[in-house]
């Protein structure tokens, strides 16, 4: 397997990780979850537990757009020198958005825990 192919597999794994977490988490949450809280952790809006799929959808959209721009840079010769740095930044972007997406999915759980509710 070429290094470019391995980088692509890792990148798309990062892109799909929030979706996999949401698929597991959605069945552990109650029907109605807090989807917004103010700075003092007071719930300001409730929504369906299926709203957590908005976060993985946004992450997937953002990472697809980044993939498009990285492909344009690659075709323009950006990887001819310093390709390791290019691929490192490519994977760093994927990892950062994936981690932010997963943290975002767990915010309703944190808010519920702060209110004294357990998801088990």
Residue 120 lies in a domain: no
Residue 65 lies in a domain: yes
What burial letters (b/e) apply to 60-90, b meaning 16+ CB within 10 Å?
bebbeebbeebeeebeeeebeeeeeebbeeb
Residue 59 lies in a domain: yes
Residue 88 lies in a domain: yes
Range(s) of the domain holding residue 53: 3-114
Of the candidates 61, 31, 37, which has an alpha carbon nearest to the alpha carbon of residue 49?
31
pLDDT in tens, 56-93: 999 899 888 888 888 887 777 766 656 677 778 888 88
Say what the pTM is. Answer: 0.76
pLDDT in tens, 11-60: 899 889 999 999 988 888 888 888 877 888 778 888 898 998 988 999 89
- In the chain, the number of structural domains is 1
């Amino acid at each position: 397997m070429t290094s470019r192919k391995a980088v692509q597999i890792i990148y798309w794994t990062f892109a799909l990780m929030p979706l996999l977490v949401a698929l597991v988490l959605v069945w552990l949450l109650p029907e109605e979850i807090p989807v917004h809280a103010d700075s003092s952790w007071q719930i300001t809006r409730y929504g369906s537990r299926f709203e957590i799929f908005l976060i993985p959808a946004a992450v997937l959209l953002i990472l697809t757009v980044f993939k498009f721009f990285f492909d344009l840079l690659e075709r323009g010769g950006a990887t001819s020198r310093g390709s390791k740095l290019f691929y490192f930044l490519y994977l760093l972007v994927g990892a950062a958005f994936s981690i932010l997406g997963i943290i975002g999915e767990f915010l309703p759980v944190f808010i519920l825990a702060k209110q004294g509710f357990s998801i088990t």
